[in-house]
Structure 1
Amino acid sequence: MNYIIFGGSGFIGTHLIHLLKNECVKDNDKIYDLDIVLPGEEGVVPGVVEKNEGVEYIRLDVRKPFDFDFIPTNDDVIFNLAAVHRTPGHPDEAYFETNIRGAENVCAFAEKYNIRKILFTSSIAPYGAGEEKKDENSLPMPNTPYGISKLVAEKIHEVWQAKDKSRELTIVRPGIVYGKGEHGNMTRLYWSQKKRYFFYTGRKDTIKSSIYVKDLVHFFKYRMIDNDFAGVDIFNCTYEPAFTIQETCETMQKATGMHHNVPLVPAGLLMFVAKIIGPLGGKKVGIHPDRVKKLMVSTNTCGKKLAASGFKFHYSFEESFRDWFRDCNEEGLR
C-alpha cells in the first residue's frame, strides 16, 4: 500500500507522516512526501530538519503535470494537502495557480494510476465571512481569492469522483489548525498574550472555529484507512461547539500556566494603529489591517457532522493546548 502525500513537508503533512509511521505502515507499505520544498529547507515547518526514515521524499511542483516512479496497489490513498493558504500574504494569482492547477494535476495522476481514494484538505474559507453558523449544506459564498480557489479545487475533485462511483473522496474543511510547528494564528495569539500586546478587538465573543492538528490527522486515518466507503462527503473539521476568542485565550493561558489580563480595545482605535504600523512590518506581530479585520469577524462553522461520524477526538480543547505545550518542552507554543 502507498500513502501518497502531496504537500507532505508542511505543518499538517509532517504530523500526518508521523501518525502513519507510528500506527499504519506495515512491512511493504511506502509513504511518499511530494512537495516543492523538503525538510530542512526554507518554507517548511521550522525545526523539522531531519527526513523520516522509510519515507521517500520527492521534490515536485503540483502546478505542473508530474509523474514519479512507484508501484501502485489496489489500496493506495492520496492525501492532497498541497496549497497556497496564508492570507493575506500572496498575490491573488498564486492561490489560483497552486490550488486549482494542483487539484487538476493530482486528479490526473490518480486517474492515470487508477487510485480510488483521495482526501482533499479544503478550508472553511469557501463559506465566506459572516457571523451566521455554517454547516456542510450551507451555500458557499467565498469572498477571497483563497476561498474561491479552494471551492473550485473541491469541484475538480468531485468531477474526478463522479467519473467512477466506486471512488472514495473526502473533502475536509478545517477551521484554524494548531499544534507544534503551526507558526500561524494560534502561535501568534499565544506570544502576543505572553508579551502583553494582544487586545480583544472591539469584542470578546468573536467565534473562531478550530481543531488540534493531531485530532485532524487522526480523522484522516479514521476516514481513509480505518473505513471504506464509496462516494463523496464533506466534513467541517472543527470542535463543536466552536469557541470564542475569549474562551480560546483563557483556555490557552490555563493550559500553559499564563496569568495575563487581556484588555478590550475599541475596534476603531486598533484599526487606526494597524494602518500606521502595518506598512512598517506589522504583519510580523499580527498588527496589520487585514489581520485585525479577521479578528473582528467570526468563523463559526458547525462540527456536528464530524462529531456524529463515529470519530472519537483524542483531546479536549484544554488538553490539546497542554499536549502542544508539552511537545515544546513547556517553553512556550511554537
Structure 2
Amino acid sequence: MKIVIIGGSGFVGTQLINLLSRNSDHHLLNIDKNESLEFSAITKLGDVLDKSILQSELASADIVILLAAEHKDDVSPTSLYYDVNVQGMRNTLEAMEVNNVSRIIFTSSVAIYGLDKNNPDESFPADPFNHYGKSKWQAEQVLQEWYKDHLDWNINIVRPTVIFGEGNRGNVYNLLNQIASGRFLMIGKGNNKKSMSYIGNIIAFIEFLLVEKVEGYNIYNYVDKPDFTTNDLVYHTGKVLDKKIPTVHIPYALGMLGGYGFDLLAFITRKKLNISSVRVKKFCAETQFDSTKAMNSGFVPPFAIEEGLRRMLKTEFRK
C-alpha cells in the first residue's frame, strides 16, 4: 500500500510515520513544505497549495492522509487559514482524482463545534468561533460536496480534540509547564472539563481507519476519556512529579480583562505574546466532546489517558 501523508513533518505526522513504518507492507511518502527531522529520506518538499507537486507525487498512491493545516491562534494574515485548510483540501482532491486515488483520511478538529457546547457528538451542528474552526468546517464542507459526485470514494474524517504527548510543544505542554513551574494562575474555579487526546492513541486510531474503515463516508470525534478538569491536571501533575503545586485563583472577569490588556500590548508592539483574550477564553471554556462513536467502532486505545499524561510529565518535566 502506498500511503501519501500531506503535512507529515510536524508532531502528529512524525509520530504517525514512525508507527506506520513498522509495517513493511507500507510504502510511505511525506509531502511537506518543511523538511522532516526524522524522515527526510521519504519526504518531498512541497506545499499543499502547489497543485503540480501534489499531482506528480500522488501517482500510484492508494490513500492520502491529509494533516497539513494552519492551526495556531495567531496566524497572520487570517486568510492563510482558508488558503491552506480549504484551498489545500480542494487541491488535494483534484490531485487525487487525476491519479485515480479514492481514499482519504482527513484530520479536522472539534473546533468546528465552537466553545462551551454540551458534550457534542458527530451529529451536533457546527458553530466554530475562530478562523481555525471555520476553515476546518469549510474544508469538511468541500469534502461533503465532493462525495456527492464520488460515492465510490472512501472518506474518513477525524475530529480530534487537543493532542498532547512527549515532544509536543502545544497548548497542553504550555499549561503543564506553567503548573509544574509553581507559577500557575488559575483563572476561574478550575472545574471546567478539558477533553484531550494522547498522541499514541490518535495515531493508532488513524492506523485503525486506514486498515479497517475502507468504505463509505465516516466521521469520528476522537477523545480519550475520562475528561480532566483543570483542577485534575494540577492534581496529576503534582502526583507524578511528587511536588506540591501552589495555585492562585483569580476571577474570570479579571482574567479576561488582563487578556484584553495583552491584546492591546500585542497590537501596539506588533509582537506575538503568549497571553491573549482568546487564550484566556479557551483556557476557561468547557471543552468536552463525545467520542462514543469512535470507541464503539472496534478501536481499542493502546494507552489510558492517565498513562499518556504520566509519560509526558515524566519525559518533559521530571528533573
For the pair 1:292 / 2:280, whether they are aligned, the reply is yes
Counterpart amino acid of residue 16 in structure 2: L
Corresponding residue to 2:248 among 241, 254, 263? 263
Preserved contact between residue 179 and residue 237 of structure 2 (Cα < 8 Å): no
What pairs with 1:1-334 in structure 2 (closer than 5 Å)? 1-22=1-22, 24-26=23-25, 29-39=26-36, 49-51=37-39, 55-66=41-52, 67-69=55-57, 72=60, 76-225=62-211, 227-277=212-262, 279=265, 286-325=274-313, 327-328=315-316, 331=318
Preserved contact between residue 241 and residue 303 of structure 1 (Cα < 8 Å): no
CA–CA distance in structure 2, aligned partners of residues 90 and 113 of structure 1: 33
| Distance change in 2, residues 1:169/1:327 (3 Å) | farther
The structural deviation recorded for 1:71 is 5.0
Q: Which moved more, 1:319-328 or 1:147-156?
A: 319-328
CA–CA distance in structure 1, aligned partners of residues 58 and 50 of structure 2: 19
The structural deviation recorded for 1:106 is 0.7
Preserved contact between residue 180 and residue 237 of structure 2 (Cα < 8 Å): no
The structural deviation recorded for 1:115 is 1.3
The structural deviation recorded for 1:327 is 4.8
Preserved contact between residue 108 and residue 158 of structure 2 (Cα < 8 Å): yes
Preserved contact between residue 162 and residue 197 of structure 2 (Cα < 8 Å): yes
| Distance change in 2, residues 1:152/1:111 (3 Å) | same
Q: Which moved more, 1:177-186 or 1:251-260?
A: 251-260
Amino-acid identity (%): 27
Residue 225 of structure 2 aligns to a residue whose secondary structure is coil
Preserved contact between residue 131 and residue 297 of structure 1 (Cα < 8 Å): no
Q: Which moved more, 1:244-253 or 1:208-217?
A: 244-253
Please report the RMSD computed on the Cα atoms of aligned residues, expressed in angstroms: 2.2
Preserved contact between residue 187 and residue 250 of structure 2 (Cα < 8 Å): yes
CA–CA distance in structure 2, aligned partners of residues 161 and 249 of structure 1: 44
| Distance change in 2, residues 1:293/1:70 (3 Å) | closer
The structural deviation recorded for 1:11 is 1.1
Counterpart amino acid of residue 197 in structure 2: I
| Distance change in 2, residues 1:90/1:25 (3 Å) | farther
CA–CA distance in structure 1, aligned partners of residues 243 and 19 of structure 2: 30
Preserved contact between residue 240 and residue 304 of structure 1 (Cα < 8 Å): no
1:280-324 Cα deviation digits (max 9, x unpaired):
69965x432221111121112111111111111111121002223
Counterpart amino acid of residue 248 in structure 2: P
Query: Tell me, which stretches of 5 or more residues in structure 1 are unaligned?
Result: 40-48
CA–CA distance in structure 1, aligned partners of residues 243 and 94 of structure 2: 49
Q: What is the TM-score when the length of structure 1 is the normalising length?
A: 0.86
1:21-41 Cα deviation digits (max 9, x unpaired):
12x232xx42111111113xx
1:179-224 Cα deviation digits (max 9, x unpaired):
1232111110111112222222112111221100110000000111
Counterpart amino acid of residue 27 in structure 2: K
CA–CA distance in structure 1, aligned partners of residues 306 and 172 of structure 2: 14
CA–CA distance in structure 2, aligned partners of residues 115 and 71 of structure 1: 8
Q: Which moved more, 1:213-222 or 1:268-277?
A: 268-277
Counterpart amino acid of residue 314 in structure 1: P
Preserved contact between residue 3 and residue 29 of structure 2 (Cα < 8 Å): yes
The structural deviation recorded for 1:119 is 0.5
Q: What is the TM-score when the length of structure 2 is the normalising length?
A: 0.90
CA–CA distance in structure 1, aligned partners of residues 279 and 64 of structure 2: 33
Preserved contact between residue 104 and residue 156 of structure 1 (Cα < 8 Å): yes
